[in-house]
Amino acid sequence: MTITTATPTGSLPHPVILWIAQLRAWVFLCLLIIFFEIWARAAEGSSFVFNLYNIQSIAVFATAPLLLALGQTFVIISSGIDLSLGFVMGLSSVIAAHASNYFMVRYGVPPFAAMLLAILSGTLVAFIPGLVNGLLIAHLQIPPFIGTLGMYGVARGAAYLFAGGMTVAIDNPWFSAIGNGRIYGVPVLVIITAVTCLVMHYLLSETRFGQHTYAFGASKVAARRAGIDIKRLTLKIYLLSALGAGLAGAMYTGRFTAGAAQAGEPLLLDSIAAVVIGGASLFGGSGTIWGTIAGALVIAVIQYGLVFINVEPFWQFIAVGAVIIVSVLVDQTQRNLTGGRQVE
């Protein structure tokens, strides 16, 4: 009887090297911070990173795109895309503002309870676009790009209609404290986002739901033959994505003490960029929450850092754009090295 050793073909690098390759967005983030540190010291004579205000600002700045990007990570791993997130966030922001005002003025609910109800309403209203996205994609086989593009328009219109074409100001000290307060120096927004990151990481890497999302993204046939209910799975993925945007919308309202339909408009592409910089492939099947966190921080550091060293703000777009392209190239190279093929 012959004994065969099944060694992966090609040269699969050592696990430690693979691990570092997966964390490359974090490596890049460190390099970026070192770059800004050197520049700031040379040009301004001040420190970039050893500055509590800078750290807090970057962290708060990163929360909104990150909350969108967490759900987007699941969607992109499943080889989909969610274009509706920006305006789902806007819709949630407007609804959260209305809810805060409504409960306080109409029912005399105390500000703290009104804040909780507002965050809940803002987050839960995102269920509707998420559900419609999921139903369109899972049951009517509409391509994700088109289905969520349609919902982008619907959510946008609905958000402006509910807002009456204006921003909806709130007057709720508790809600404002959620958006601007600190606990032991840590902004509340950052705490809420960090907890959301942990929950999302758990869902993606430690549950069947996450495992099936990876399998589905790599091979729909494999997922179906394994007996996975892929319609239900798709629905859950788009619901999760919308809920993240809903939470982001409610947080926006607290931070700026107003609900705005255009709250998430510039953030949609940042959310996709964060996922891609974090190492996910738009072909589906790969990506991690840790990577996405690093991706969101990379974008925030570039944007904040360039302002800090007094570079004209328009360079931000060029820098982020270049980073996205480089990330995709690095991802392709890594796939070739590890024997992972890009299917289709």
Partner 1 sequence: MSDSQPILSVRNVSKSFGAVQALNQVSFDVNPGQVVALAGDNGAGKSTIIKAISGVFHHDAGEILLGGEPINFATPHEAREHGIETIYQDLALAENLSIGENIFLGREPKRLLFGVLPILDRKAMAAAAQGAMASLDFHVTRLDAPVAAFSGGQRQAIAIGRAIYWNARLVIMDEPTAALGVPEQRRVLALIKNLRGQGKGIIFISHNLRDIFEVADEIVVFRRGENAGARRPTDTTHDEVVKLMVGG
Of the residues 59, 67, 228, 289, which one makes contact with partner 1 according to CB under 8 A: 228
Question: 5 vs 165, which CB is nearer to partner 1?
Answer: 5
Of the residues 143, 166, 199, 208, which one makes contact with partner 1 according to CB under 8 A: 208
Instruction: Give the ranges where 126-229 is alpha helix by DSSP (H).
Output: 127-139, 144-163, 173-180, 188-206, 208-218, 220-225
* 3 binds partner 1 per the rule CB under 8 A: yes
CA distance 126 to 337: 41
* 141 binds partner 1 per the rule CB under 8 A: no
| Count, residues in the chain | 344
Of the residues 212, 235, 251, 296, which one makes contact with partner 1 according to CB under 8 A: 212
CA distance 87 to 198: 25
Question: 18 vs 109, which CB is nearer to partner 1?
Answer: 18
| Residues touching partner 1, count (CB under 8 A) | 38
Region class of 142: left (phi > 0), else alpha (psi between -120 and 50), else beta: beta
In the complex, least distance from residue 286 CB atom to partner 1, rounded to whole angstroms: 6
* 7 binds partner 1 per the rule CB under 8 A: yes
Q: What are phi and psi of 134, to 5 degrees?
A: -60, -45
- Report yes or no: 156 and 88 within 8 Å, Cβ to Cβ: no
In the complex, least distance from residue 10 CB atom to partner 1, rounded to whole angstroms: 7
Q: Report which of 32, 56, 129 is spatially closest to residue 87, judged by C-alpha positions.
A: 129
- Report yes or no: 156 and 245 within 8 Å, Cβ to Cβ: no
In the complex, least distance from residue 340 CB atom to partner 1, rounded to whole angstroms: 5
Tokens of 209: 């739901």
Mark the segment that binds partner 1 (CB under 8 A) among 99-107, 148-156, 220-228, 244-252: 220-228
- For 139, counting Cβ atoms within 10 Å of its Cβ (0-12 exposed, 13-18 middle, 19+ buried), the class is exposed
Question: 215 vs 319, which CB is nearer to partner 1?
Answer: 215
CA distance 69 to 269: 9
Question: 177 vs 337, which CB is nearer to partner 1?
Answer: 337
Mark the segment that binds partner 1 (CB under 8 A) among 40-48, 97-105, 124-132, 215-223: 215-223
Question: 122 vs 217, which CB is nearer to partner 1?
Answer: 217
**Residues 285-304: x where in contact with partner 1 by CB under 8 A, - otherwise, as a string:** xx------------------
Segment 175 to 204, residues that bind partner 1, using CB under 8 A: 202
* 42 binds partner 1 per the rule CB under 8 A: no
Question: 65 vs 217, which CB is nearer to partner 1?
Answer: 217
* CA trace torsion 233, 239, 245, 251 (10° rounding): -120
Q: Write the CA distances from 143 to 35, 47, 121, 132, integer angstroms.
A: 41, 48, 29, 13
- Report yes or no: 266 and 165 within 8 Å, Cβ to Cβ: no
In the complex, least distance from residue 187 CB atom to partner 1, rounded to whole angstroms: 27
Question: 150 vs 340, which CB is nearer to partner 1?
Answer: 340
**Using CB under 8 A as the criterion, which residues of the chain lie in contact with partner 1 when the complex forms?**
1-10, 12, 15, 18, 202, 206-208, 211-212, 214-215, 217-219, 221-223, 225-228, 285-286, 338-341, 343
